[in-house]
Structures are given as C-alpha cells and as structure tokens.
Amino acid sequence: GPLALWGGRFASGPAAALADLSRSTQFDWRLADDDITGSVAHAHVLHAAGLLSDDEVTGMVDALERLRADVASGAFGPLPDDEDVHTALERGLIERAGTELGGKLRAGRSRNDQIATLVRMYLRRQSRALSGLVLDVVDALVAQADAAGDAPMPGRTHLQHAQPVLLAHHLLAHAWPLLRDVERWADWDARAARSPYGSGALAGSSLGLDPAAVAAELGFTGPVENSIDGTASRDVVAEFAFVAAMTAVDLSRLAEDVILWATKEFGFVRLHDAYSTGSSIMPQKKNPDVAELARGKAGRLVGDLAGLLTTLKGLPLAYNRDLQEDKEPVFDQVDQLTVLLPAFAGMVATLTFDTERMAALAPQGFSLATDIAEWLVREGVPFRVAHEVAGACVRTCEERGTELWDLSDADLAAISEHLTPDVRSVLSVEGSLASRDAVGGTAPVRVAEQLAAARARSALL
C-alpha cells in the first residue's frame, strides 16, 4: 500500500479515489531539486542542534546528493503511490540512507513550511529567468527604435489620427511598461526573499533549529517573522502571478499593434517569414500567429491570476489543503511566458517597417490641427479661440477635400485675422515633431535621449 507519512493513527490506507485526488507529483515534481536543497539545509540545522551526529549528517547529505543525481538523471522519479514531491523524496532518501537515518530528517519540519519555501525558491529563480527574456523583448524594441531614427508615423488616440509621432517614440512606449514589469519582479523579490522554513505545520519548531541558518543557506535574506503567516500566506505567489499577468498584458498590447499594422489596410509593417505562418488553404496568407498567441495567452495568464486569488479568498488561517492549488496557475504562467517570450523577441527584432508609407500618412486626418492651435497660443491668442480657429481650418479643408497646408494666405486671413502665413512653419510633420520638445515628448532630440535612457535602464536590470 501507499507509504503515507502518517501511518500511526490510521487503520487503513487512503482509498484509491482519494489518492488520485490528492496526488500532486504530476505538477510539483519540478520542485524536487529545490526540495533536496532544502533538505540539505535542514540536515545542517538538525546537526547544529545536536539531533544528528557528525557521521549522521555526512551520511544524510551524501544520500541526499545521490538522490539529487538520480532525480536529475531520471533514475529516480515519483511512483503512483507517492502523494507529493515531499513523499516521493522521503521514499528516495530512505531507499538510500536506510529507514533509521532517513527517518530522522523529518524532525522539526512539516510539508507546510517545506512547500511554502520551495515555491518561493522556484519563483525567485523563475522571476530572474523571465526578467532576462522580457529584457530581450525590450532590447529588440530599443534596437528597432534606434533603426527607425527620425521616421514619423501617425500617432493615434481612439485609433483615430491624432498627432504625428516618431515611430521610435511609439516603439519605446511599449518598452517602458516591460521595463517596469522587470522592475516589479525585482521589487517583489525583496518580499519573496523570506524563508518559511522552520515554521513547521503552523506554530514553529520546538527542537532548537535555527530558521535564520536555513534561510541563509537557501539564499533568503532571513526567515519569515510569523510561522502562521509563513505557512498560510500566498500573497507572494499571487504578486508573482500579477507581474506575470501584467507582463502578458503588456505583450498583448504590442501584439495588437503588430497585428493591426500588418494588415493590408495599415501596411505599416512586414513580419519576417520565420516569425509568421501560412494558411493550409489560402496560398497568399502570411499570418501574425506569434502576436495572436501572445494576445491569446494574455487571457490565460490573467485567468491563472484570477483563479489563484479566488482560491485564496476566504481561506481561514493557517494551512489548508486548498493551498496545494496555488502551484499550477503560476507554473502555467512560467511555462507560457517561457515559450512565448523568445518567439516574441524574435518577431519584434525582425519586423520591417514601411517608413515611407507611415511618413506619408503621418499628417493625414488633419493631425496638424493642434499645431495650428498651439502656434496661435504662442502668438498670444487664448487657447479657447485658437481651438475654434484651428477647427474652422479643418472644416474648410474637409468641405473642399484638401489638406491644411493647401489653405492660401487669403483662406487663412478669411478664417481668422490671427492666421498669418507664418503658421505654415508648423504645418509640416517635421515642424510639428520638433516643437514637442519638452521632456518625454516626441521631438527627435528628446526621443534620442529617451532611447539612451531605455538602453541604460535595460542594462541596469
């Protein structure tokens, strides 16, 4: 029958249906190496507390390291009767160290503090790996922004032409949120870096074990302050899940731009063959599947976050078995981002922009109307009046089917006494762009600074 960890007070083993329900090795086995690392640290504090002799700790650590090697090679793995990663590894330890020595490791710890610690170890490592992959997307955006130089494009609000902007400015507008996502993981790590090991089942350990020593050995800044909190809280996991979901949402917004820009109607961008797909029936098709999968997976990652928060809502302290459900949502997020991010970075890096078309469209849709209004303000006209006058210019042109720069000196004078021919200095995309030269604006000088700043931020993270 199953080698359960609690034989003493039970006359029968678990029903097969319970074992099937209870089993978590199919997803928590990925924590096996971290569990062994935790066990080695635990053996050390048992030794320090005089609960393992010098020979015993040597034998224990040796058996754990052999088990680690067998896990890595695949020689050791979970069996159907193993409830979870901890149960399986205890079996593996006893097989290698014998029942007498192997049976000593469990003193002073519970699977409750163990699992809470392992999840933090795993997520801290993954947050660093994912941050690196997010920075690859940022670097691809920065490189594209650099290559775009001073190329203009139509800037949009409500998806309608609004004001011309630099393509580089728009691309960097996607880079900054991703840089913040990486910063969020770094900030999160300060809270994740407390070790629950030593919390026991909920009340702490009576055996004189030093939680600070375990924490230090496992790369944490220290132990948790409260053993109930250490075993029962999962806000650290939920916060990781938020950053993962936010990252996916940020990618999804860029993905939507790419999808739209790759349409015939926009024609702003071409996808590289290596990062687009064909159709099994329509020979002409070139589809933006990477971007669409990013958009689709964003929904999935948001669902993972929502599911996790819903599991936590209303759970009484301390540990409840519901908490076993914390892992699959974040593991799914890690797995999805791990496959998505490299493809996404490759897609971004290989986009080719039709900068001529974008430049031609930049002043369309009367996107220089605001420049007329602001030119008038600089001439001393109140903005309320200036807005009216610029609006009248648009109305005249719309009626005639012409553009703002087609207005003659006489047209301008007829619309308003304030409109002298000098207004034409801002009726060009270049003039408009150059005028938006406050910090954060789209003027080429500011965007060049911004590009350097984004590059520097990425290099720091």
- Interface with ligand ARG (CB under 6 A): 24, 84, 111-112, 115, 319, 321, 323-324
Minimum distance from residue 321 beta carbon to ligand ARG (Å): 6
22 tagged catalytic: no
Identify the bridge partners of residue 156 per DSSP, sorted by sequence position.
161
Q: Is 410 exposed, middle or buried (0-12, 13-18, 19+ CB in 10 A)?
A: exposed
Which parts of 183-297 are beta strand (E)? 194-195, 222-223, 269-270
Helices (H), 103-224: 111-148, 167-192, 211-217
- Strands 222-223 and 194-195, by their bridges, are parallel
Cβ distance to ligand ARG smaller for residue 323 or 330: 323
Minimum distance from residue 90 beta carbon to ligand ARG (Å): 12
Cβ distance to ligand ARG smaller for residue 115 or 255: 115
Cβ distance to ligand ARG smaller for residue 124 or 234: 234
Cβ distance to ligand ARG smaller for residue 109 or 111: 111
The residue type of 51 is L
**187 contacts: CB under 8 Å, gap ≥ 6:** none
Cβ distance to ligand ARG smaller for residue 323 or 372: 323
Q: How far is CA 400 from CA 404, 407, 420, in A?
A: 11, 10, 21
Q: How far is CA 394 from CA 367, 372, 405, in A?
A: 10, 10, 11
Minimum distance from residue 112 beta carbon to ligand ARG (Å): 5
Minimum distance from residue 323 beta carbon to ligand ARG (Å): 5
Q: How far is CA 175 from CA 87, 97, 254, 351, 455, in A?
A: 44, 52, 9, 15, 10
Tokens representing residue 82 in the block: 């193993």
Cβ distance to ligand ARG smaller for residue 323 or 393: 323
> Could you tell me the sign of the dihedral formed by the alpha carbons of 214, 239, 171, 351, in that order?
positive
Minimum distance from residue 88 beta carbon to ligand ARG (Å): 11
Q: Which of 12, 44, 170, 279 is catalytic?
A: 279
Q: Which of 12, 73, 158, 206 is catalytic?
A: 158
Identify the bridge partners of residue 134 per DSSP, sorted by sequence position.
none
Minimum distance from residue 118 beta carbon to ligand ARG (Å): 9
86 tagged catalytic: no
The residues assigned a catalytic role are 158, 279
